[in-house]
Chain A
Amino acid sequence: MNALTVHAPVLLVAVPLLGAFATPLVGRFGRSARNVFVGSVILFTGALAGLMAAHVFGLGEPLVYVLGGADGFGVPLPSGMQVPVRILFEVDAMSAFMALITALVALAGTWYSFSYWRERSGGDLYHSLLLLLTAGIFGMELTGDMFNFFVFLEVTSIAACGLIGFRVWLKHSQEAGFKVMALYTLSGILVLLAVGLLYGEHGGLNIAYLASRVGGSLVDRIALGLLLTGLAMKAGAVPLHMWAPDAYGEAPAPTSAVLVANSQASLYGLFRILFTLYGATVSVGALGWILIAFALLTIAVGVTMALVQRDIKRLIAYSAVSQIGYMLLGVGVGLAVSVARPEFGRTAMHGGIFHMLNDAACIGLLFLASGAVIRASGTRDLNKMGGLAHRMGWTTGFFLIGALALAGVPPLNGFASKFLIYESSFRLSPILAVIAILASIMLLAVFVKVFQAAFLGPASREVGEASTGMLVPMAVLAVTVVILGLFPGFFIDRIVAPAASALWSGRDLYIRAILGG
């Protein structure tokens, strides 16, 4: 157990990666063998994530994992300075928190996809890509090196777009695949340009090293602008969000849940760069208000566009985009006041970061339930479905829990995080809280629309309840939603507060863990 905990950061990337490449081989032995293999790989990964998180939360300072020469193996630079050749993973409380979210969503999505994938062939490659996506997301969250972050960013882009366009017989999925890949590639290249600019300016790629040297020079600001816009686009902030309904809508249902974890990992990257890499060297007021502007646009446009959608998955996709706005709002308020450090800034960070966990669970649940709905009614058009609640009681219940939780209805978990966001953003400026609350109410209207269209009404065709393999992951997520809602204080004290502190006031610890002294 000790050896596993010590090596957990790199195993979290290596195990899904090796599993991804071994899956087509195991698939030769049949479908059940492949399902058992993929299921055990993802279960082992989830257990590792839990172990690592428990270790890091207890440690109180970032955990550094060295890949390469620890000491002594140096390469002399032309200037005569010795630089050890290595890549570092640096796991602090925020990274561990994100790893927990990814593990939860990846577990639910992968298990759901065992029963969801009904085609005779292609299942091996589909599950292989799903494991590759999971490995990439873990890599993005655990790394302490900017170029390594870029590499994992591109790994997730390729795996995600492969999954979006996987069903090549569907016309729209190919269009979505092309558009999303083009935009992801563009943002990836600009992130690489920014990393190159930072390397040229300061001579290192490690985040802690760059953080100790970065100042407010022009090159630093240009790199910050590129990183901010590129990662905000990958997270889905308006007006850069237009790929999101295509991506989430055309991917198979369990993949959409994991794609949400992908967007949140990009959001984590953005927060890491803003809080830890740049800290207070560029005006936090300007940066915070840029984030708040993105957030308000995202919240408003996301939820209003969701109201007029006809396709159930595009509607849930627009709601997912809107919820990213809440996370941006909470953390943006925190960033804007992070120099003066008033108490409501810390509350805003708690709200924004807690909302990442709540949103991942709720949106994952909604996408999985929508997959069951589409399977049962044979169509994705909300105008053509109806009456599913008569026979699909469990699916109806899970959908209701996810929808109410996301809209912020007490006592579920959405209300707990949104309460913190409302209260703290009100202290910064009342208009922020007003827009956030109105958008929550409109989100409730959006989900009433979906519930009425899909579940209520007279039974239109003979449907059966979703299979157990699809119900169990939904039940796991629903139970998570309810428990997070009933005991928010416990979860905020134990996992959200350390993660928020790691961003809010943990910059020096982060730098000191690698550079020492």
Chain B
Amino acid sequence: MNVGNVPFVVAALLVVLGLYTFLFKRNLIKLVIGISLIETGVNLFLVALGYRTAGIAPIYTLAPAGRMVLPTPQALTLTSIVIGLATTALLLSFAVFVYRHYGTLDAGKIKELQG
């Protein structure tokens, strides 16, 4: 089935949505969700890079004949997902501590370190 450029368009849409969330929302948790959206978009872009039309999974054991999709982007995406997990966990822990100290999650009010 020919997917054309749809995955790339969706990936770009996700990145733009994530950037919009990161730029215009005030709640710290929403900022983290925005970062997570950008990461998802980039991961989708990476996986879509490797897709070949009518390709099968890149596993050699008992593989039927036919084209395989590229394995390298899948490795890149796995690594990226794990890194995203670590960064999201760290960001959310910081958000929890910020809430304990400041009593608010509004990014517009958490600006004591300024100038």
A residues near B (Cβ < 8 Å) are: 75, 77-78, 147, 151, 154, 157-158, 161-162, 165, 168, 171-172, 174-179, 181-182, 185-186, 188-189, 192-193, 195-196, 199-200, 205, 245-246, 249-250, 305, 308-309
Contact partner, A147, options B49, B76, B91, Cβ 8 Å: B76
Q: Do B112 and A172 have beta carbons less than 8 Å apart?
A: yes
- Tell me the chain B residues, 18-37 only, with Cβ under 8 Å from chain A: 22, 28, 31-32, 35
Decide: A168 near B35, CB < 8 A? Known: A75-B71, A196-B45: no
User: Which residues of the other chain, B, contact A181 by a CB distance below 8 angstroms?
Assistant: 87, 90-91, 94
Q: Do B73 and A193 have beta carbons less than 8 Å apart?
A: no
Min Cβ gap A262→B in Å is 16
Q: Do B91 and A178 have beta carbons less than 8 Å apart?
A: yes
- Give 9 nearest A-B pairs by CB, closest first: A178-B94, A171-B101, A174-B97, A200-B49, A177-B94, A154-B83, A185-B87, A196-B46, A174-B98
Q: Do A151 and B90 have beta carbons less than 8 Å apart?
A: no
| Interface size range of chain B in the complex | 35 or more
Decide: A178 near B71, CB < 8 A? Known: A158-B86, A165-B94: no
Q: CA of A195 to CA of B76 in the docked complex: distance in angstroms?
A: 10
Contact partner, A182, options B31, B52, B55, B80, Cβ 8 Å: B31
Q: CA of A165 to CA of B91 in the docked complex: distance in angstroms?
A: 11
Q: CA of A225 to CA of B76 in the docked complex: distance in angstroms?
A: 21
User: Which residues of the other chain, A, contact B97 by a CB distance below 8 angstroms?
Assistant: 165, 168, 174, 177
Contact partner, B67, options A78, A158, A246, Cβ 8 Å: A78
Q: Do A189 and B113 have beta carbons less than 8 Å apart?
A: no
Max chain A C-beta neighbours (<10 A), residue from B79, B80, B113: B113
User: Which residues of the other chain, A, contact B73 by a CB distance below 8 angstroms?
Assistant: 196, 199
Nearest-CB residue, chain A, relative to B97: A174
* Chain B contact surface mostly: helix
Q: Do B90 and A193 have beta carbons less than 8 Å apart?
A: no
Q: Do B42 and A185 have beta carbons less than 8 Å apart?
A: no
Give me 20 A-to-B residue pairs in the complex whose CB atoms sit less than 8 angstroms apart, sorted by A's number. Answer: A75-B71, A78-B68, A151-B83, A157-B87, A161-B90, A165-B94, A171-B101, A172-B113, A178-B98, A179-B113, A182-B22, A182-B35, A182-B91, A185-B87, A189-B42, A192-B46, A196-B49, A205-B72, A250-B113, A305-B115
User: Which residues of the other chain, B, contact A77 by a CB distance below 8 angstroms?
Assistant: 70
B residues near A (Cβ < 8 Å) are: 15, 22, 28, 31-32, 35, 38-39, 42, 45-46, 49, 52, 55, 67-68, 70-73, 76, 79-80, 83, 86-87, 90-91, 94-95, 97-98, 101-102, 110, 112-113, 115
Nearest-CB residue, chain A, relative to B19: A186
Decide: A186 near B35, CB < 8 A? Known: A174-B94, A192-B80: yes
Q: Do A175 and B35 have beta carbons less than 8 Å apart?
A: no
Q: CA of A75 to CA of B59 in the docked complex: distance in angstroms?
A: 12
Decide: A175 near B90, CB < 8 A? Known: A193-B45, A200-B49: no
Q: CA of A168 to CA of B102 in the docked complex: distance in angstroms?
A: 13
User: Which residues of the other chain, A, contact B79 by a CB distance below 8 angstroms?
Assistant: 147, 151
Q: Do A171 and B31 have beta carbons less than 8 Å apart?
A: no
4 further contact pairs, Cβ within 8 A, besides A174-B94, A196-B73: A151-B79, A175-B101, A186-B35, A196-B76
User: Which residues of the other chain, B, contact A168 by a CB distance below 8 angstroms?
Assistant: 97
